[in-house]
Every structure is written in structure tokens, then in C-alpha cells.
Amino acid sequence: MKPAQKLTAFKTILSKEVMRFLRIWVQTLVPPAITMTLYFVIFGNLIGSQIGDLDGFKYIEYIIPGLIMMSVITNSYSNVVSTFFTAKMFGHIQEMLISPVPNHIILMGYIGGGMARGLIVGLIVTLVSLFFSSLTIEHPIITIAVVVLTSMLFSIAGLINAIYAKSFDDITIIPTFVLTPLTYLGGVFYSINMLSEFWQNVSMVNPVLYMVNGFRYGILGVSDISPVASFSLLAVFIVALYGFAYYLLKKGVGIRS
Amino acid sequence: MTHALKITNLKKTYDNGFQALKGIDLEVKKGDFFALLGANGAGKSTAIGIICSLVNKTDGDVNVFGYDLEADREAVQEHIGLVPQEFNFNIWEPVIEIILNQAGYYGIERPVARKRAEELLKHLNLWDKRDEQAQNLSGGMKRRLMIARALIHNPKLLILDEPTAGVDIEIRRSMWDFLSKLNQAGTTIILTTHYLEEAESMCNNIAILNKGEVVESTSMKELLSRLQVETFVLDLKEPLDIIPSDCELTIHQRDTSTIEVELDKTRSLNYLFETLSKHNIRVMSMRNKTNRLEELFIKLVEKSKEENTSIKSTSSEVTA
Ligand SMILES: Nc1ncnc2c1ncn2[C@@H]1O[C@H](COP(=O)(O)OP(=O)(O)OP(=O)(O)O)[C@@H](O)[C@H]1O
Ligand SMILES: [Mg+2]
């Protein structure tokens, strides 16, 4: 395919993906807004008012970056895992497999779709948070870079999950048993300085901790982790997982018998 | 290069160890209308899947218009349009979107794709349904949607895996008509079907697959000429109690007013009627017992079954 044709193919996949979650916005965009409003009310206002400052910030101010990040992660992941898996189950992935669209374009199209959903939800949650707290962003470029890279990383992860999934159960197992615990334990609600040294060390192997703290650094200027560590980790994971996803697609794992 | 498709020693063993293709050779000429026949499970869809990059081959070569599938996969893919056996579009998407997206995967820009989609959907009587979700189409409309989708990039080779399954007679005829015109305009067509009448009336060349092997590959004419006898069913004017014993024809009686007559290929129909008149048998109407191709098909498939069992019995003798 010529570069112009590749671009057309990419735009096709991306816009198809974006149209899909926009068409069913009640299922894709509204739920995170509602859940996060509840989090803000309960953890931020009700319980938060009983908790003192954290790193010099009110509790609600401290958890807002974490909660935005949590929505971005889950929505990027679940967008790609469900749409790629459905394409596999109902067979319309074959429309792409028979055509000359390169694997890189398929990957980038789906990842782009997951990122679009994750980032739009992130924006919605940010807007909702304005009802509960004011927001000043300390380092805008870092903030945007971290959230974009994180949504990219979890879109790729969702795609890999979908490639291996054989049933609808398989696309909920990883989010429930891996993704949710990692996010909850990834410093969304607390600073790891509150933990004993042992648990602090255990927390350091959780990649989500680096992203949440990177994002919190961007917004508040405070973090348990150095921003350099956050970016390095994101870069390494993205390259590794993208390479792996490309390999799986090229081999036809789960999609070509 | 005179072929549209050339397959050499193509083998496929699925992950579960089942050997669906045991080394098949096929050649389809440019511009041909080719029938690929075979019983359920013969390996037709497997072969098509490999040609269309949906199934990984185990061994062998596939060449499409001079492009090797391994070395030039993109070129091969650009030349082929596929109408798969199973519905495989996104049922929640509108008809027009399905077609336009498919165009996008081939790198065709929207404005160009739109024009072509309109043309195709009008030809296939689906233009009124363009904004309908695909799940709301009838079975026959879904088949036509897949035909439109397969043609959006103007492929030179169109492969249809049972396109007329579940399609009513009228639509089936209009589909045949559509495909014939397409073929006349230069598109090479490969078709699998279980309606042998369809293959007989449209296809010039034919291959029969049986249990992963090609048991026959020849022209339709040549194949039909091999038919030694043809069987006719005759409805009689007056009931017949017994078949005259001195009759030169082989006659089976179905009931008192219906008989089946076998007629040797070398004999004419006049001879049949002359003979019957001689014995005072009067005929009201007549028809072929089965489709001619069907008779041959069953014979060929049974012959290869016998060969297989005879091979098995000799080998079991050896081991015993
Ligand atoms: N993914 C698979 N894994 C294992 N075996 C398979 C797979 N797909 C097909 N087969 C087997 O391969 C054989 C050939 O199947 P195929 O679908 O090619 O037949 P077919 O000629 O298209 O039949 P039909 O007329 O019923 O469509 C069958 O025995 C089938 O069970
Ligand atoms: Mg089949």
C-alpha cells in the first residue's frame, strides 16, 4: 500500500472505533462520570473532610489526579478489549485480514480508538471534578504527556487481552483480577509514604503507581516517584507491549487458524 | 501468465491435528467461471480461507495473477474479493458503513468509495436499505451485502463461498444474472455451491474436492459428456400394469402411471418415444430424474470412497 492509502486505512479504523463509542455514549461516557462523581462526594467531601492534608494538599485535591488516571486506564483498556474481541467473535476482523491493510495500521487504529475514549473520559472526569475542587495544573506538558502515554499503554494491553481471549469471561478476568487491584493499590487514594517500608517496596513493582504519581506530579507538583522514572517506565512498557502485540497479530494468534 | 489462480500441493493441518487439505492442485484461468464443489467438510472453505489470508497454510503454494501469496501478500489481497460462507460483518453497523469501511481498508478514499458503493448497492437492490443496521436485513439481503462489500475495490478475482445458501429463487436468479454479467465484463469468478444446477448453468470449469483431495478437475462439458446414461421420469396417459418384457429400454416402474427410463447417451429422444409408442405406452410429460451433474457428482464421490476403503482393507490385510 502507498502511504496515502495507509493513511486512509488508518483513518477508517480510527473513525470507526471513535464512532462506535460515541454512538453508545450512554454505556461508554456516562458511567465513568457517575462513578467518579460518587467517588468525589464520598471520598473527597464526606470522608476527605475528616482526613488531614496530604503532602500539603486537601485530600480531595490529592485524589483527583488519581481518579482521573483511574478512569483513563479502565476506559482505554476496556474500549480496545471489547471492540477487538467482538470483531474476533463476530468475524468482522476478517474484513481487515483479507485486505492489504498492514498490521501496524490495524494496531494503531485500535490503539487510537482506545486512547480517544480514555482521553475523552479523562476530560469529562476532570470537568466533573471542577464542581468539587479548583484545579491548577503545575506542569501542563508533563500532565498531558503522562495521560496520553498511559492511555496508549493500556489500549495496547487491552488489545493483547482481546487477542488471547476465547470467551466473554476472558475479557473480564484480567480487568477484575489484575487491573483493578493494581489501580487501587497504585497510589490513587494514598501516598505510599503512609505505608510501612516493606509495603512501600512492594508497591514499587506496581507500574500503575508510576503513572498515577507522574500525573499527580504534573498537576500538583508532588509525587512519590521521580517523573523521569515514570516516563522511563511508560516508554519501556509501551515499546515492549507494542512489539508483542505486533508479533501476535503477525502470527495470527487467536484470529487465523 | 494465463491463470487467475494457481494452487500447487496445498496442504492444511489444523491445530487439532485434522488434515483438511492433503495436497491439492488447482488452476483457474483468467476470465473463467469456476465451480469448486464437494460435500460438507470436503475442504472448500479451508482452501478459500488460505487463498484469502484467513487461514495459515501448512504447505504448498498459492499464486494469484502471478503474485505469490507468501512473497506478495498485499498484491494478492488487492486482487481478490471474498464473499464468505458465514455472515461476518458487524451487525450493528449500517449497510453503507460496512461497505465504506471495507473500501477504507483497501485505501480507497471516501468520496470515491461513496460513488462506487452507491452503484453497487443499486445494482444489488440494497440502496433503499443503506442506512439500515445490518442485523435488520433478511438472509438474502445479507448475502447481497457481502457481495457488494466484496466488489468495492474492483477485484479481478471474486470468490464466493456458497453465496446462494438460503436465498429465494427469484433473488437467486437475479444473483446469477449479476454474476454472469460481472464475469462477461472480465472478472474471474470462483464459486462453491451445493446447488449443482447452479454450477451446471453458470460455470465453465469445475473441480470436485473430497476429503481434502481433488477427485476431479475438468471442464463442465467434458464432465457432462462422461454421463453414459440419462434417466427420465415419464408420467403416463394410461396406467401400465406390467412392463412389456420384450422392450429394448431399461424401464423401472414407480407406480402404475409413472415410469423411469434409462436412455443410453448414444440414443436420441426420438428413439425413446418410437420404442414406447411401439409398445403402446403414451407419455403425458417427462423430466430428468436428477440434475445431470448431480448424478456424476455422486458417482465421483462414491468412487473415491470405494478406493479409500479398498486401500484400507488391503493395508489391514498387510498388518494382519
Ligand atoms: N478451525 C478448524 N479447526 C479444526 N478443524 C477444522 C477447522 N475448520 C475446519 N475444520 C475441519 O476441516 C474440514 C474441512 O472444513 P471446510 O470448512 O473447509 O469444509 P467445506 O468443504 O467448506 O464444507 P461445507 O460445505 O460444509 O462448507 C472439516 O472436517 C472441518 O471440521
Ligand atoms: Mg464451507
Percentage of chain A modeled with pLDDT above 90: 77
Q: Which of A165, A177, A174 is nearest to A253 (CA)?
A: A165
In a domain, A257, yes or no: no
> B193: Cβ below 6 Å to ligand 1?
no
Coil, helix or strand at residue A257: coil
From the CA of B48, give the closest atom in ligand 1: 18
**Residue A210 is part of which domain span?**
3-251
Q: Is residue A190 part of a domain?
A: yes
**From B12, B16, B22, B45, mutation site for ligand 1 pocket: most ligand atoms within 8 A of C-beta:** B45
B220 and B195 in one domain? yes
Give the per-residue pLDDT at B230: 79
In this prediction the pTM is: 0.87
B121 inside domain: yes
8 A C-beta contact, residue B193 and residue B164:
yes
- Say what percent of chain B tops pLDDT 90: 57
Has residue A47 got a pLDDT over 90? no
Does the structure show a pLDDT above 60 at B310? no
Q: Which of B63-67, B249-253, B256-260 has the highest mean pLDDT?
A: B63-67
* Together in a domain, B29 and B178: yes
Q: Which of B224, B240, B269 is the last residue of a domain?
A: B224
Report residue A70 CA to chain centroid gap. Answer: 7
Q: H or E element: which one contains B283? A: strand B283-288
What's the Cα-to-Cα distance from B256 to each of B13, B241, B252, B253, rounded to whole Å? 53, 6, 11, 7
Give which of B228, B214, B237, B198 is closest to B295, Cα–Cα: B228
Distance CA B11, CA A83 (A): 33
Q: Is A240 inside any structural domain?
A: yes
Domain count for chain B: 2
- Residue A256, in any domain of the structure: no
The answer as to whether B301 is a domain residue is no
Please indicate, yes or no, whether residues B124 and B206 belong to a single structural domain of this protein.
yes
Q: Is the CB of B2 under 6 A from ligand 1?
A: no
B219 and B278 inside one domain? no
Are B151 and B244 in the same domain? no
Query: Rounded CA gap, B148 and B161, in Å?
Result: 14
**Which residues 20-79 of B have a C-beta within 8 angstroms of A?**
49, 52-56, 73-75, 77-78
- Whether A136 maps to a domain, the answer reads yes
Residue positions counted in chain A = 257
CA distance linking residue A31 with residue A26, whole number of Å: 7
Q: How many CA atoms lie within 13 A of B261 on its CB side?
A: 26
User: Is the domain of B153 the same as that of B283?
Assistant: no
User: What is the pLDDT, as a whole number, of residue B320?
Assistant: 35
Asked, for residue A78, whether it belongs to a domain, the answer is yes
- Mutation probe of ligand 1 site: the residue of B37, B44, B86, B198 with most atoms within 8 A of C-beta: B44
Are B75 and B22 in the same domain?
yes
Same domain, B22 and B46: yes
Residue B320 inside a domain? The answer is no
Taken as a whole, chain B contains a residue count of: 320
For A175-211, b/e burial (b = at least 16 CB within 10 A) is beeebeeebebbbbbbbbeebeeeeeeebeebbbbbb
Q: How far is B307 from chain A (nearest CA, A)?
A: 31
Q: B162: domain CATH number?
A: 3.40.50.300
Instruction: Tell me if B316 is assigned to some domain.
Output: no
Of residues A156 and B202, the one with the higher pLDDT is: A156
B11 and B89 inside one domain: yes
| Alpha-carbon distance values, A166 to A98, A171, A255, B85, B264 (Å) | 21, 8, 10, 22, 57
What is the structure's pLDDT at A195? Answer: 87
Whether residues A101 and B86 touch (CB distance < 8 A) is answered with no
Contact between A3 and B96 (Cβ < 8 Å): no
For chain B, the straight-line distance linking the first and the last C-alpha, in angstroms and rounded, comes to 51
Same domain, B153 and B258: no
Chain CA centroid to CA B92, Å: 30
The angle at the Cα of B88, spanning B84 to B89, to the nearest 5 degrees, equals 120
Is residue B308 domain-resident? no
B54, B74, B101: residue with CB nearest A256: B54
| CA angle, A190 then A66 then A209, to 5° | 70
Confidence of residue B315 (pLDDT cuts 50, 70, 90): very low
Sign for the CA dihedral angle at B59, B65, B68, B74 comes to negative
Determine, yes or no, domain membership for B104: yes
Domain count along chain A: 1
Whether residue B315 lies inside any domain: the answer is no
CATH number of the domain residue B240 falls in: 3.30.70
pLDDT of residue B166 exceeding 90, the answer is no
Q: Are residues B122 and B261 in the same domain?
A: no
Is B152 in the same domain as B137?
A: yes
Q: Is the CB of B210 under 6 A from ligand 1?
A: no
Taking the Cβ of residue A13 and every Cβ of chain B, the question of whether any pair is shorter than 8 Å is answered with yes
DSSP result, B134-149: GGGS-HHHHHHHHHHH
- Expressed as residue numbers, the domain containing B87 is 3-224
- Contact assignment for A257 to B102 by CB distance below 8 Å: no
